[in-house]
Amino acid sequence: MINYNPKEWFTFIFRIHKSDTVRQLTPMMISLSIYVALIAFLEIEVFKLSDNSHIKNITILHGMLGFVISLLLVFRTNTAYERWWEGRRMWGNLTNTSRNLAMKINAVLPVDDIANKTFFKEHIVEYAFALKRHLRGHQKDSEVFTSNISLHHDLHKPNHIAKLMFVRLNELYNQKVISGTQLLFLNEEFRTFTDICGACERIKSTPIPFSYSVFIKKFIFFYVMSLPFGYVFSLGYIAVPIVVFVFYVLASLELIAEEIENPFGVDDNDLPLTMMSKNIQKHVGEILN
């Protein structure tokens, strides 16, 4: 995720970073420029179409369709941002739940029970890292700890870690280290872990419907490709940069929506899951040390 100062207008305007849509769209913008210039040359120089030609009335169609395409892109962008924000909210909940569980564990366990406190400290932190790897499709053992956490590649690792913690908690109850009331007191955090994992999996595995995404791309393509036929009459060769700019705006909105609709990847605008996991590691370590 890119950290930036939203007040630095000139930096945004004149700097092109690697996530800027200009980089991705440059080949298509060059091809579109050649296409529009060819249409303009044929209409002005070859066929010498007059202003009375009915082709110029195609701009009326563009005016009507422009309103429709703007509504579609607004809905598309809002839907993608809602998915991004829900992912951020889920990881905020994971941070708070990890802190709350660590504080409760610290309170209910005896002061000298270092072994169990270390166990929960490692597994609470590892749950965040395991969820990050699970959402990004990375299958490997712990990035942080080496003791007591060795996971098989075919397991659902977040669920497995949550199970290990709950089994240890039940053992503490059977050993009379914690009471039944305290067990119920701690159960809410374990349930929240599973709810957060399920919500993140839902966001990742449920993209925008295929037909809807394809329709928007086709709509943008045919809308832009038909623009020069009418605008050449009023703009001449100036229609080349105008049409390219319209394409840049419409296509950029679609590209941005595609990038943020899955907020758990490694793109520049995706959530900083590693940073948030390390933040959980820091706070849980402070509580349970």
Cα 50 → chain centroid: 50
Torsion sign across C-alpha atoms 206, 209, 214, 219: negative
Domain ranges of the chain: 98-206+273-288
The answer to whether 19 and 255 are in contact (CB under 8 A) is no
DSSP code of 6?
A: T
Q: Distance between alpha carbon 152 and the CA centroid of its chain, in Å? A: 28
pLDDT tens across the length of the chain (289 residues):
666 666 666 666 666 666 678 888 999 999 999 999 999 898 888 777 655 556 666 777 788 888 889 888 889 999 999 999 999 999 999 999 999 999 999 999 998 899 999 999 999 999 999 999 999 987 665 666 554 555 555 678 899 999 999 999 999 999 999 998 998 889 888 899 999 999 999 999 988 888 888 999 999 999 999 888 888 877 889 999 999 999 999 999 999 998 899 999 888 889 999 999 999 999 999 999 8
Contact 25, 248 (CB under 8 A): yes
Tokens representing residue 64 in the block: 């009507």
